């Protein structure tokens, strides 16, 4: 594998593109928005500059990484030569099914199709293609260039050969791949999201305030950041979407989103990305300081 197409230039997409490009792969970064592509490249450049300032990479490494990335606004043009496509679009099942139908039509029959979904069924996504054996989940963690874990999720029809190929590929990126089966939330979010949801319930029920809840979990449970701050960083809309997928998949009330979370998302308070969530990020400096904790 040498040519990797990444669908989506947002937070996860540009992080995945950065990681593959820094490992020497030719990356085709695809987004329908030229503006999103420019923002994605700017983010990659800024993160490389931080690594350069910390002497983790050289100027030549930075230039080589950026030189390995080509941008496209056309999916068909971007995936023509791809050995692997990693879809990192918004966590919306209808959008992902539409993308995979298109990828199945325009990609080579040998191309492996992967999705970075954090909760949506790989089997469901694979079912809209004519190659379900070659569809797999690659759930990277945010921020992608830093976090070691990749959940490798095999759908009902994913072959051993494809799974092993993606496991080995992940290792070449310096990641630690963990194979899991295709159930709602997989492992990471099946455990994480109920914890975040319970933290929001604790706030909703008036047990303690935002800072108090986060302080208890940081100092008492040795978490690097509190669950409410983490939810802000992930995006409250993303948390809600994952919980809804899990609730629909399991029909178990323990996965039902807290009413406070639902109302905050309806009100547009999505966390760092919107400038306000459980914390106030209205000043750009505050949001930047939060982001720097992860780079």
Candidate list 139, 241, 274, 276, residue with the active-site label: 139
Is-contact 274 154, C-beta < 8 A? no
* 118 included as an active-site residue: yes
* 189 included as an active-site residue: yes
Q: What is the 3-state secondary structure (H, E, C) of 143-169?
A: CCCCCCEEEEEECCCCCHHHHHHHHHH
Candidate list 3, 14, 26, 151, residue with the active-site label: 151
Candidate list 189, 197, 241, 274, residue with the active-site label: 189
Detail the residues annotated as belonging to a binding site for NAD(+). Answer: 8-13, 31, 91, 96, 118, 142, 273
Detail the residues annotated as belonging to a binding site. Answer: 8-13, 31, 91, 96, 118, 142, 273
* 223 included as an active-site residue: no
12 vs 143, 144, 194, CA distance in Å?
Answer: 7, 7, 22
Candidate list 3, 47, 82, 118, residue with the active-site label: 118
Question: DSSP class of residue 110?
Answer: T
Per DSSP, what are the bridge partners of residue 154? 136, 181
Q: How many residues does the chain have?
A: 295
* 168 included as an active-site residue: no
Tell me the Ramachandran region of residue 19: left when phi exceeds 0, alpha when psi lies from -120 to 50, beta otherwise.
alpha
Q: Which residues are catalytic?
A: 118, 139, 151, 189
């Amino acid at each position: 594998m040498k040519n990797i197409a990444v669908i989506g230039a947002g937070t996860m997409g540009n992080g995945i593109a950065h990681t593959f490009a820094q490992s020497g792969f030719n990356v085709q970064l695809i987004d329908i928005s030229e503006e999103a592509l420019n923002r994605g490249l700017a983010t990659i450049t800024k993160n490389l500059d931080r690594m350069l300032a910390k002497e983790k990479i050289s100027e030549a490494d930075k230039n080589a990484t950026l030189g390995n990335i080509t941008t496209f606004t056309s999916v068909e043009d971007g995936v023509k030569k791809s050995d692997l496509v990693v879809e990192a679009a918004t966590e919306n099942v209808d959008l992902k099914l539409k993308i995979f139908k298109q990828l199945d039509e325009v990609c080579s029959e040998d191309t492996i199709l992967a999705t970075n979904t954090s909760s949506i069924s790989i089997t469901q996504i694979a079912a809209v293609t004519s190659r379900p054996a070659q569809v797999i989940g690659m759930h990277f963690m945010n921020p992608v260039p830093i976090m070691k874990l990749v959940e490798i999720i095999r759908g009902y029809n994913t072959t051993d050969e494809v799974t092993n190929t993606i496991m080995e590929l992940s290792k070449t990126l310096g990641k630690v791949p963990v194979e899991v089966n295709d159930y709602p939330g997989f492992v990471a979010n099946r455990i994480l999201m109920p914890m975040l949801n319970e933290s929001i319930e604790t706030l909703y029920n008036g047990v303690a305030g935002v800072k108090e809840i986060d302080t208890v979990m940081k100092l008492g449970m040795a978490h690097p950041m509190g669950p409410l701050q983490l939810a802000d960083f992930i995006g409250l809309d993303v948390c809600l979407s994952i919980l809804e997928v899990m609730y629909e998949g399991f029909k178990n009330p323990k996965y039902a989103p807290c009413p406070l979370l639902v109302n905050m998302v309806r009100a547009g308070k999505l966390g760092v990305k919107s400038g306000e969530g459980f914390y106030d990020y209205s000043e750009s400096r505050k949001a930047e300081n939060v982001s720097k904790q992860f780079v």
